[in-house]
Every structure is written in C-alpha cells, then in structure tokens.
Structure 1
Amino acid sequence: MTTQTDHTEIALLVSRFFRALDERKFAPGWADGYVTDDVRMVAPVGVYEGPAAVRGTEEAIGRFARTQHMSSDLLTDIDEASGTAHASWNALMVHVHHEDPDPLFTVGGRYDTELRRTDEGWRISRMSVEAVWTTGRPPVLPSA
C-alpha cells in the first residue's frame, strides 16, 4: 500500500536526484541526500556499490558537456512495516557530447529502485536503469 505522502516524498527524491545530476554540483557528500551508504547501482556502463556507485555516477555524467534527465509515470509500492519501498519510472535522458558535430545521445529508459526510510527520509538503496531505446552516438567507455 502506498500513502500519498510517501509517494510524494519519493517523487521529490527522484526529481531532486535527476536535478542534482544535471546541475553537476558534486561536492563531497552530495549524494547523501539521495542514496544509502550501501547503495547498488546497475546501469549499462557498469555495476557499482557503496561509495563506488557515487563515483561511477559522477564519472558517467562527466563524459558529457551537459545532460538533462526527465522522469515520468512514477509508480510506488510502500511496505510500511519494513520501512521499504519499490519505485519505478520512465525516463528520457539527453546527453550532449563534448565538442562533437552531432552532439546528442538520447536514451529512453526505465528505472527500477528499492528505497529505505531513514531518519532523514527516503533513500535509494538499489537502482537499476534499462535503456529501452537510444539515438545518437553513445559515449566511448574506458576498456576494462
């Protein structure tokens, strides 16, 4: 069961997280307001856990000159007894390459997350993104 307040708090968390990515103000501790210390992030660019997830996110965003992340159709399912939630949403992610004559790489995707209620509010404990479609040239990833 989802309460309207929980749904709204999770929706604001998602919106603020996407805005933080696009504003690129990655001061130490910036992600504390969005994710748990043991967060696990799964994306097409790799799987990261804990502090490496934050660094991986910063590196992924840094591959581009600018980004714009938009979310829609947020669905939430709250388990009040355990203080956990599941949320999923659609996303449109536009990436602008550094100095490229064809600068746009666009992704239509789907996010799937698990969240935990903390003393500071809801935090993402697991996040995965699936690219449903893409247009443009994807980033060049470092070799393993």
Structure 2
Amino acid sequence: MTSRTDHAEIGVLVDRFFHALDEREFAAGWALDFVTDDVRMETPLGTSRGAAAVRSTEEALERYDRTQHIASGILTDAEAGAERATVSWNALMTHVHREATLSERGADADPLFVVGGRFEADLRRTPRGWRFSRVEVRPTWTKGEPPPGVDAR
C-alpha cells in the first residue's frame, strides 16, 4: 500500500510534468525535475532512453502551436519506504496544430488533434524525490489528424 505522502508526491510529479510540457518549460536540465538520467520513454512515436528521450519529447511538442495535458485517476503502488513505485493515470491530450499545418490542409482542417489514453510509469526515489524511470503512453482513442508525417495512433 502506497503511503499518503508518496501518493501525494507522485501525483504532484505527474501534474508538474504535464504543466511543464504545456508551458514548454524546457530550460537546460528541465527534465531532471521529472526523470532519471536513464529514463525510458515509450510513445506511439517510438522508444528512446536518457537524453534522447528528453529531446524526443521536446521535438514532439514543437510540432504543435500549444497543448493541454490533463491527468486524472492517478493510481500509485509502492510499499511504504520503498525506493521504487509504479503509477498509472488517464490522460486527455489536446494538441493545437500550427498555422502552417492548417494552411497545408485547407480551410476545413480541424485545428485540434486530441488523444485519450493512459500513462503507465515506473519511478525511483532519488535524493531529489520521486523521478520517472520509465514512461509509457498508451493511446486509447484519437480525434482529428496528427501533424504530417506522424502516426500517433
């Protein structure tokens, strides 16, 4: 059973991570507030590790004008005092296409690409708090079209 403190800290990590993505808070070293050095990111765009995983996250978001990520139903599992934990949550991810993408698609283009799904993650307790060591994005449904050249389904 996860302690209330660990559950709260992990929930805040999820919320802060989504906030950083949406606000594009990508200053040097930004990801160290969220992930371990050897993080493994598994998304519909591919799997990457470490610094490459961080850069692929930034590049994926740069395809859009703006985004909004909403997390709900955060479920954590860790023994009290454990050094490792798991977390899963529902996610609603709304992506607003860049003007260039909309112009390319024509006047009737849908400005939004929306994804509903789940995140599954492993965490490690570090001297700086809980950090994701693995993050997997599992889309359940999509609405609209992803940017050109991206199969995000």
Which TM-score tier does this pair reach, normalised by the shorter chain?
over 0.9
Which structure 2 residue ranges, 5 or more long, are not aligned?
103-108
> Match of 1:96?
96
| Mapped contact 2:3–2:79 kept (Cα < 8 A) | no
2:121 pairs with one of 95, 102, 113: 113
| Mapped contact 1:77–1:86 kept (Cα < 8 A) | yes
- Aligned Cα RMSD in Å? 1.4
Does structure 1 residue 19 correspond to structure 2 residue 27?
Answer: no
- Give 1:1-144 correspondences, 5 Å limit: 1-80=1-80, 82-99=82-99, 100=102, 101-141=109-149
Q: Structure 1 residue 79: deviation in Å?
A: 3.2
Which structure 1 residue ranges, 5 or more long, are not aligned?
none
CA distance in 1, matches of 2:149, 2:16: 27
| Mapped contact 1:45–1:141 kept (Cα < 8 A) | no
CA distance in 2, matches of 1:102, 1:108: 17
Task: Tell me the SS of whatever aligns to 1:79.
Answer: coil
1:52-87 alpha-carbon deviations (Å, 9 max, x no partner): 000000000001000000000000001346400000
1:120-141 alpha-carbon deviations (Å, 9 max, x no partner): 0000000000110000011223
Amino acid at match of 1:111: F
Q: How many residues align?
A: 143
| Mapped contact 1:108–1:131 kept (Cα < 8 A) | yes
Compare 117-126 and 79-88 and name the one that shifted more. 79-88
Judged with a 3 Å threshold, the aligned counterparts in structure 2 of structure 1 residues 15 and 81 are, in CA distance, closer, same or farther, namely closer
CA distance in 2, matches of 1:57, 1:66: 14
User: Whose Rg is larger?
Assistant: 2
1:74-121 alpha-carbon deviations (Å, 9 max, x no partner): 000013464000000000000000011421000001000000000000
| Mapped contact 1:73–1:89 kept (Cα < 8 A) | yes
Q: Percent identity?
A: 58
CA distance in 2, matches of 1:65, 1:128: 24
1:6-48 alpha-carbon deviations (Å, 9 max, x no partner): 0000000000000000000211101100000000000001101
